[in-house]
Structure formats: C-alpha cells, structure tokens
Amino acid sequence: MVTEAPTQWDGAIVRTWLEKRIAAARTDQVAAERTGDRDDCDKAAAEEMVCTLLQRQNAADSQGAFTDAIKHLLDRDDHIWRGVYDDRRFDRHVGTYLRKLLKMAKDNAGFRQTRRYQ
C-alpha cells in the first residue's frame, strides 16, 4: 500500500485561495440579491467576512497561525458584517464556514482548489 506524503503548508497558495473565495463570495451575493434568496446572500456574506478577516490578519504563512486565527473567530459570540438579512442565520453560517476551514487547515487540504464552486 502506497501512501501519499503530506504536502507542506504553502502560505502563498492559501492567500490565493482566500482572494479567490472573497471574489466568488461577492459574486454569489450579487446573484442571491438578484434572485431574492436572503439565505444564500447571508451564506455568501459569511464566507466573504471570514476570508476577508483571515486575509487581513496575515495568518496564512503558517498552519498554526492560520488555525489559531480561525479558532479565535470561532470563539466570538456574534459577527457583524454589511448586507446581512438575519443575524442569527448569518452567525450560524459563519460558524459552519469556520469549522469547514478549520478542518481544511488541519488536514492541509483543499487550498489548491481555486475554482469558483466548491
């Protein structure tokens, strides 16, 4: 049985992934606004907020710093962002997205996938 060696953390790839997810989330918000789907709009706003905050913290250079930044955001009780329709639903989407990112960061997987849809 051949096992694949784990890849090393690459901060540049993670930063690129964050940039692309921010752009995709903004596009998703516009599309959701046009169709009137408030839940999808809140979900896209949650993704944009999380990726933007992580990008601003410059935590992508190390896996430990990135997971710590995610955990710090998870510890917050509420999150405030523009264009949110339902605060409780938005907070739930933020938590879900943060847990997804935490798993990605711990596994160091998925950051090379930069297509719009995931």
Query: How does pLDDT run across 41-92, given as a tens digit for each residue?
Result: 999 999 999 999 999 998 999 999 999 999 999 999 888 898 899 999 999 9
The pLDDT score that the predictor gives to residue 7 is 78
118 falls within a domain: no
Establish if 5 belongs to a structural domain: no
Q: Write the single-letter amino acid at 110.
A: G
Global pTM reads 0.88
Q: Is residue 70 part of a domain?
A: yes
Instruction: Count up the domains in the chain and report the number.
Output: 1
- Domain hosting 45: range is 11-107
Indicate whether 115 belongs to any domain: no
For 13-47, write each residue's pLDDT tens digit: 999 999 999 999 999 999 999 999 999 999 999 99
Residue 74 lies in a domain: yes
Residue 112 lies in a domain: no
Residue 79 lies in a domain: yes
Phi-psi region of 68 (alpha: psi -120 to 50; beta: other; left: phi over 0): alpha
Is 64 domain-assigned?
yes
